[in-house]
């Protein structure tokens, strides 16, 4: 029996998937935190960078960053496309600078900033121990802002 081949995604579909809100990694992390009893707002537009997850009680913003768009350092997913290299380099540099500005603005407001990378989420989905370790790290970072740990 011939296997049905999946239609390859078009470039714009790929982009939407990588860049879009409510991406799988983001939803995955949200669900985990919800199960841990955390309550939050998503895509809080009034805050710099509209954090993917904002825990008001803990004054903590969490960004789930795609490794490609946000140039995760030393990460295999952080690559520069072969064509139009200058365009991509400038674009990525702008993204990174924007992230930096937003994080600083949040910190200045007394808001704790946590960045979780796409590749970390990927690993969490695959390796149970890694998931537990990451989750306790994230929880500690959240509570840490109020000196609760
Ligand atoms: Zn990465």
Q: What is the pLDDT of residues 87-120, one digit of tens each?
A: 999 999 999 999 999 999 999 999 999 999 999 9
How far is Cα 71 from Cα 85, in angstroms, rounded to an integer? 14
The sheet with strand 53-55 has its strands ordered as 41-42, 53-55, 60-65, 112-117
Query: What band does 6 get if pLDDT is binned at 50, 70 and 90?
Result: low
Best-predicted range by mean pLDDT (1-5, 7-11, 133-137): 133-137
Neighbours of ion ligand 1 (CB under 5 A): 67, 72, 75, 77, 117, 119
Q: What CATH number belongs to 38-144?
A: 3.40.960.10
Residue 12 pLDDT > 90: no
Give the pLDDT of residue 11.
Answer: 60
Domain spans of the chain?
Answer: 38-144
Give the pLDDT of residue 144.
Answer: 82
Give the pLDDT of residue 23.
Answer: 74
Alpha carbon of 118 to ligand 1 centroid (Å): 6
H or E stretch including 41? strand 41-42
How far is Cα 59 from Cα 145, in angstroms, rounded to an integer? 7
Alpha carbon of 116 to ligand 1 centroid (Å): 9
Alpha carbon of 1 to ligand 1 centroid (Å): 38
Residue 138 pLDDT > 60: yes
Give the pLDDT of residue 43.
Answer: 93
Alpha carbon of 84 to ligand 1 centroid (Å): 22
Residue 148 pLDDT > 60: no
Query: What band does 59 get if pLDDT is binned at 50, 70 and 90?
Result: very high
Residue 149 pLDDT > 60: no
* Mean pLDDT score of the chain: 88
């Amino acid at each position: 029996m011939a296997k049905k081949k999946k239609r390859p995604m078009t470039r714009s579909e790929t982009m939407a998937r990588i860049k879009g809100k409510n991406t799988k990694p983001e939803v995955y992390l949200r669900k985990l935190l919800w199960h841990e009893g955390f309550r939050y707002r998503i895509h809080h537009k009034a805050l710099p960078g509209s954090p993917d997850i904002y825990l008001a009680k803990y004054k903590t913003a969490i960004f789930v960053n795609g490794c490609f768009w946000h140039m995760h350092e030393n990460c295999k997913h952080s690559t520069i496309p072969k064509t139009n290299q200058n365009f991509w380099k400038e674009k990525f540099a702008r993204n990174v600078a924007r992230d930096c500005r937003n994080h600083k603005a949040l910190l200045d407001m007394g808001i704790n900033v946590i960045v979780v990378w796409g590749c970390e989420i990927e690993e969490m989905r695959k390796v149970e121990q890694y998931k537990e370790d990451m989750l306790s790290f994230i929880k500690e970072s959240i509570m840490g802002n109020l000196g609760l740990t």
